[in-house]
Amino acid sequence: MRISRIETFSVAPRWQFLRMETDDGVVGWGEPIVEGSADVVAAAVESLSEILIGADPTRIEDLWQTMTRGGFYRGGPERSSAISGIDQALWDIRGKVLGVPVHDLLGGAVRDRIRAYVWIGGDDPAEVATQAAARAAEGYTAVKMNASGRMRHLESRDAVRGVVERVASASEAMAGGDVAIDAHGRWTVSVARTMCRALEDNVAPLFLEEPLAPELTYRFGELCAGTSVAIATGERLYSRWDFRSALESGIALAQPDVSHAGGISETRRIAALAELHGVGLAPHCPLGPIALAACLQVDIASPNAVLQESSLGVHYNDGADLLDYLVDTEPLTVKDGWFERPTRPGLGIEVDEAAVRKAAGVGLWRSPLWRHEDGSHAEW
């Protein structure tokens, strides 16, 4: 069996799918994407195809090592994301050939289900209580919201109070459920300290995600040491080496993205490294159904997995939603706030290839560009 064909499809709302076919007709799917740079990732996939076409798809680890270490220059979000989607497709093929779900190949299931959480609010949150109540009515026991809009180097008491009040209103609407908050890397170290103190004193978020930008990962140690708020990070860390200092800093949750951090292969290794440091796993996944299916395979096989994000109904999903490219939505349907253990071969889903081909080629989504009131750049 040899890899004979690799294709990528850019589809609404902001996703990119990869189809890998073998010479005996087995098809595997992956999701190689950097939100806002799908075209660059597609070019990286095409470049890596020179290594893959004609290769044995069962040699997943050898291909992963060759793709990541075969060139003198390594890493970066676009190349790592291209490798991630390819890796997902390789695992999908292997599971389908053997007739087992991928988690069986990762050591087998350690749980029967994983707690789900989903987004509420938009990039610059205002009223979130109504959305939180709606999610609770759907059976979710946890949601996540952006903590704030753009933030300055130093912030006012009103800005801090606004974050606390929004989290409190969402928490009340969840009626016993949990609210996590995402700072989106918008805070400075000083603002993060102030915010953590205010959150400790007034509300108890399930976790605080990415309070600092990834280039400030080395500052997480002092932040974690000074707060009881559970700190999470990792969506912009792309390997176990990137995660090392974060895991040593005292974070509560590691959030590798299976479409950015080297696919199933590397995400599983990051999970094991997190376990070594007593850190939980909560894979980042604001993406499409293939990425989510890959996350679930890792969750089910990882002892320290805590909960799983999905993009169902997120504000980015304009033109298509999480389940729209599947033949059967049941494997990714949340039931009473949980994702059930996948049981079907490979990634456990059947992609609607006709729908993907029909939708392919849409305009590329680009990340928003924000500015402060003085005209300077603001973190989105």
pLDDT tens for 286-319 read 999 999 999 999 999 999 999 999 999 888 888 8
* Active-site pick, 284, 315, 372, 377: 284
Average pLDDT of the segment spanning 247-271: 98
State what percent of residues in the chain have pLDDT above 70.
98
pLDDT for 318: 84
Average pLDDT of the segment spanning 177-202: 95
pLDDT for 123: 59
Q: What digits encode the pLDDT tens for the residues 6-32?
A: 999 999 999 999 999 999 999 999 999
- Residue burial 301-318, b: 16+ Cβ < 10 Å; e: rest: bbebbbbbbbbbebebbe
| pLDDT surpassing 80 at residue 229 | yes
pLDDT for 336: 94
Average pLDDT of the segment spanning 339-358: 98
- Would residue 184 show up in a list of annotated catalytic residues for this protein? yes
Q: What digits encode the pLDDT tens for the residues 117-140?
A: 999 986 566 678 999 999 999 999
Beta-bridge mates of residue 279: none
| pLDDT surpassing 90 at residue 366 | no
Q: Where are the alpha helices (DSSP H) in the chain?
A: 38-52, 60-69, 77-98, 102-105, 129-137, 157-174, 189-202, 220-225, 240-248, 263-276, 289-301, 353-359
Q: What is the CA radius of gyration of the chain?
A: 20
User: If pLDDT is split at 50, 70 and 90, which confidence band does 201 have?
Assistant: confident
Q: What digits encode the pLDDT tens for the residues 236-256?
A: 999 999 999 999 999 999 999
* Active-site pick, 184, 260, 277, 372: 184
| pLDDT surpassing 90 at residue 147 | no
pLDDT for 125: 65
pLDDT for 287: 96
Q: What angle do CA 371, 165, 131 make, to 5 degrees?
A: 85
pLDDT for 253: 98
Per the prediction, the chain carries an average pLDDT of 95
CA–CA dist 314, 104 (Å, integer): 31
pLDDT for 380: 87
- SS3 state of residue 182: strand
> How is residue 193 written in tokens?
């300290």
Per the CB < 8 A criterion, the answer to whether 189 and 221 are in contact is: no
| pLDDT surpassing 80 at residue 364 | no
pLDDT for 124: 62
| pLDDT surpassing 70 at residue 233 | yes
Report the range of poorest mean pLDDT among 4-8, 216-220, 362-366. 362-366
pLDDT for 316: 82
